Amino acid sequence: MANIIEVKNFTKQFGEFKAVDNISFEVEEGSIFAFLGPNGAGKSTTINTLCTIIDKTDGTLTINGNEVSKEKGKVRRDIGIVFQDSTLDNKLTVEENLKFHCEFYNVPKEDIQNRISFVLNLVDLEAWRKAPINSLSGGMKRRVEIARGLVHYPKVLFLDEPTTGLDPQTRANIWEYIYKLQKERNITIFLTTHYMDEAEICDKVAIMDHGKIVAFDTPNNLKKEHTGLVTKIGVSKVYDFVEYLKMNHIKYSQEETMFTLYSNNLKKIIDVTSNFKDIITDLETTKGTLNDVFLAITGKEIRA
Amino acid sequence: MRGMTAILKRNLINFARNKTQLIFSIVMPLFMLFVFSFVMKPTTADISQPINYLISGIIIMSVFQSSLSNSTNILEDISMGFMKEIIVSPIERWKISIGQVLSSTIIAVTQGLLIIIIALFMGLKLDAPQFIQMIAVMGLVGITFSSMGLFLATVAKKSTTFQVMITAFTLPLTFLSGAYIPTTIMPKILRPLVYINPLTYTTSIFRYIALKMNDLSTAELIKEGVSFDIHGFIVGPFTGILIIIIMGLIFFSLCVYKFNKADFSDVKVFNPER
């Protein structure tokens, strides 16, 4: 598939400080792409540059074949943006916010009503069409923003931390909308998030730190490469078990009767479980999460 | 074009929904009207129609003040985040500034009209041509000072700073314009300030129309405070129109220029990581 976003040797400097340092990446059309990184890693700077809010210092950035800093008008027409903080007009109603957005983006007059219905149905807000933004909850406002970002049918939807500060239920719902959307309209979705479980469902993930991209792959490949097999075992007799682990050189950590074993050797793990099958009370094996990948790469706990 | 009218429409809707603001923007000039008509009575003995003289001054002043301060809404938009929605949309920046200036002008002129209606009950007499001319002058004043307001807003960037700037401009300009206190009774030492104040001339042309002074002689116009004898150089009321237009052009291009270049990214909501 063709690349809808292409970034080559992009650098952004604020005075002496390099917020983004010579990064390159591509995003395929119709995919979900996640940008991860600790606060201050340069994610928002990259998004803001792609969204034509700030200008690059160096490099080339194209969206749908248009150079971002040269053809701002064309780029702006092709993208929809949901920012971290609300950018709705609180004094207007849901419908008015969407309607003015259509006017700003030159949506054909006769299409406006249909499109508003379509996007409001997508985020389950048709019933709130006439409600003033003031009267909505935080999650509903975010849904209005997503609907608004879509109503001009963009090719790429940028979501800058779309679910930060929302409760788990609302987060799950919003992901459902994003998924539905990507399927129904084949929109490319470019998002940043602090929640690793959200990044798991993306097609490609880029991890950024100190202005550089430190990892770029599918979530599964990243996990394969940066984390191993993690086995949690609960036992009723601790002493013999510890002796055995030490003898066989298996790395472990212990919390009372719960052990976590770090070994990629599947055979060794199976031996452990068969040797101690009578005293094992609990068993769980996992592949390591993106969170582990993230920590392995950046060495920092991510802040929500 | 559509984007521009959408911005215009949206500003007007927001203004119309804010009933408290609307009421207070009319209460203030009315208050001025009452206070000054009582306080100034003895000092306006030289002037033939003292109440009408004050009313016309107050109408044009409220248009001036309203258009100058209407740009607060753009600063509110910045802090509310809505400005971001506008600047990432495909509308060109200069169209955004035009939409902003026009909506501010319409609001200011509407306020002026409301005061004219109230003033009609207080004894202001107008015929149709006078009314049309007054609207035209109000429109010009509105465009000029809305541009100035938008320019100041992009300089101030914060609504608190903007309020201080507006007060600092409004007070001296209005009191030295002859709108409330006739220039004819001002001490000689203040005269130069009166003469360099653009509002002096906007007030005088507006008054000239409102009080139908077209058949007065130059000497009489000077006595009424709508023409000025600056060391033998006579500035008639129509010079006022020229001054507003020139100022309007200057400020309009300034504010479009400034708005085009304004980097709103250091304002809270843009939050670039540093």
pLDDT in tens, B5-47: 999 999 999 888 888 888 887 787 788 777 777 776 666 566 6
Q: Which residues of B touch A87 (CB under 8 A)?
A: 80-85, 269
Strands (E) located in chain A: 3-14, 17-28, 32-36, 58-63, 66-67, 79-82, 156-160, 188-192, 204-209, 212-217, 230-235, 251-255, 258-262, 280-286
- Report pLDDT for B5: 92
| Cβ distance of B85 and A91 shorter than 8 Å | no
b/e burial code for range A45-81 (CB count within 10 A of at least 16 → b): bbbbbbbbbbebeebebbbbebebeebbebbbbbbbb
Contact between B14 and A86 using a beta-carbon 8 Å cutoff: no
- The pTM of the full predicted model, rounded to 2 decimals, is 0.80
C-alpha distance from A134 to closest chain B C-alpha (Å):
12
Q: Tokens representing B34?
A: 């009452």
Helices (H) and strands (E) in chain A, counts: 11, 14
- Local confidence band at A6 (pLDDT 50, 70, 90 cut-offs): very high
By percentage, how much of chain B surpasses pLDDT 70? Answer: 91
pLDDT in tens, B96-130: 889 999 999 999 999 899 888 888 887 778 888 88
Q: Residue range A73-97: average pLDDT?
A: 90
pLDDT confidence band for B270 (50 / 70 / 90):
very low
* Class of residue A119 by CB neighbours under 10 A (exposed 0-12, middle 13-18, buried 19+): buried
What confidence score (pLDDT) does residue A117 get? 93
For residue A139, count other CB atoms closer than 10 A to its CB: 17
pLDDT at A126 over 80: yes
Q: Which residues from chain B sit within 8 angstroms of residue A81, using beta carbons?
A: 88
> How close does chain A come to B100, measured CA to CA in Å?
14
- The reply to whether CATH 3.40.220.10 applies to domain A3-224 is no
Q: How far is A22 from A202, CA to CA, in rounded Å?
A: 24
Q: Do residues B101 and B252 touch, judged by C-beta distance below 8 A? A: yes
Q: Indicate whether A26 pLDDT > 60.
A: yes
pLDDT at B258: 81
Residue B268 pLDDT greater than 50, yes or no? no
Mean pLDDT across the stretch B168-192? 84
pLDDT of residue A113: 93
**pLDDT band at residue A304, thresholds of 50, 70 and 90?**
very low
- Give the domain ranges of chain A: 3-224, 229-286
Q: What's the pLDDT score for residue B272? A: 34
Of B85, B90, B271, the CB nearest to A44: B271
Above 0.95 for ipTM, yes or no?
no
Give the mean pLDDT of B152-168. 87
The residue count of chain B comes to 274
Task: Tell me if domain A3-224 and domain A229-286 are identical in fold.
Answer: no
CATH class of segment(s) A229-286: alpha beta
Tokens 């119309």 correspond to what residue? B16
User: Contact B252/B143 with Cβ under 8 angstroms?
Assistant: yes
| CB distance B59 to B206 below 8 Å | yes
Residue of B nearest to A16 (CA): B274
Annotate B143-155 with b (16+ C-beta within 10 A) or e (fewer): bbbbbbbbbbbbe
Query: pLDDT of B215-260, one tens digit each?
Result: 777 777 777 777 887 777 777 778 878 888 898 899 889 888 887 7
- Taking the Cβ of residue B14 and every Cβ of chain A, the question of whether any pair is shorter than 8 Å is answered with yes
Report the C-alpha gap between A112 and A114 in whole angstroms. 6
Question: What is the per-residue pLDDT for A144?
Answer: 92
Taking only the tens place, the pLDDT of each residue in B59-101 is 888 899 899 888 888 888 888 888 888 888 898 888 888 999 9
Query: Domain-by-domain residue ranges, chain B?
Result: 2-262
| Contact: A41, B17; criterion CB under 8 Å | no
Reported as a single tens digit per residue, the pLDDT across A230-255 is 888 888 888 888 888 888 888 787 88
What is the per-residue pLDDT across A172-222, written as a single tens digit (0 to 9) for each?
888 888 788 788 878 899 988 877 777 888 899 998 888 889 889 998 888
